[in-house]
Amino acid sequence: MATITVTFQLNGKTTALAVEPLTTLRTALREHLHLHATKAGCGQGGCGSCTVLVDGEPILSCLLPVALVEGQSVTTLEGIGGPGELHPLQAAFYDHFAAQCGYCTSGMILAAKALLDRNPTPSREEIMEALSGNLCRCTGYLPIIEAIEDAARQMEAVV
């Protein structure tokens, strides 16, 4: 089996991998690096559950060959906060019951983070637009939108 090596920043740490040439970023994260927050809901770019941030932009990791993040910085849900030290978005999703089965949650939070990082005071329409590539089958979306509005307020208050 042929392999390639890829070196990139992952959640702030330099990471080097040897993988098969066309391995996707999603497979690299989940199966080689054992970071399971990023989900495999489809492989078609349709559900958004594999969303991660690459150089701050939302990217569908199921469609990106990991070779293409060479030299870039990748952020997964594990990189923004954990139990005991939740990112305001994570805390808001928890408070607002914005996760039921939890499978869309990672993608939703990172899509929201990408939005708030460039637009700290989004309107509801802008939030919905930023989430338009992420599907949820459980919540009906409203708790998710409210959580993001709340997180935006919290994050602005701290600044």
Partner 1 sequence: MSVTDFFVPRSLDEALSLLAERGSDLLVMGGGTVMMRMVNDGLLFPRQAMSLRRAGLDGVRSANNRVEIGATTSIARLSQLDAVPLLAQAARLFGGPAIRHMATVGGNLFVPQPAGDMAVPLLALDAEVELASVKKRRRARLDAFLAGQSARADDELLTAIHVPVAAGRSAYLRMGRREANTPSIVAVAVRVLTAKDGTCTEARIALGAARLYAMRASQAEAALVGRRLDASSIDEAAQMAMGECDPFTDALASAWYRRKMVGVHVRRALEQVVN
Partner 2 sequence: MKQLGIVGQSVKRRDGVGHVTGQTQYVDDVFYPNMLWLQMVRSPVARGKIRRIDTSRAEAMPGVAAVITAQDVPNNWYTILCLIGIEPNDEPVLAHEEVMYEGEPICAVVAETEDIAREAAAQILLDLDIEEQPPVLDVEYAIRPEAPAIKKWGNNTFMYDGMNHRRLRFGDVEAGFAQADYIVEGTYQLSPIEHAPIETHVCVVKPEPDGRLTVHTNTQALYFTMDNTAIILKVPSNRLRMIGGTVGGGFGGKVDVITEPITCIAAMKTRRPVKWRWSREEEFRYSSTRAAVKMEYKDGVMKDGRIVARKVRSLQDAGAYHRHSPYGVQKHMANLPGPYNIPNVWVDAYCVYTNRQPSSAMRGFGVTEASFAIEVQMDRIARTIGMDPWEIRLINAYRNGQMRPVRKIVEDATLVETLQAAAQLVGHELPEHLRAMSSDDYHGRDER
Task: Summarize as ranges the residues that interact with partner 1 (CB under 8 A).
Answer: 1-2, 4, 20-22, 24, 43-46, 48, 51, 57-60, 62-65, 67-68, 70, 111, 114, 129-130, 132-134
Closer by beta carbon to partner 2, 109 or else 111? 109
Closest distance to partner 2 from the beta carbon of 55 (Å) = 21
Which residues, in sequence order, are CB contacts of 76 under 8 Å at separation 6+? 10, 11, 29, 35, 37, 38, 52, 106, 110
Closest distance to partner 2 from the beta carbon of 135 (Å) = 6
Residues 39, 135: Cα–Cα separation, whole Å = 12
Footprint of partner 2 on residues 139-158 (CB under 8 A)?
none
Helix %, strand %, coil % of the chain (to 5): 40, 20, 45
Closest distance to partner 2 from the beta carbon of 71 (Å) = 25
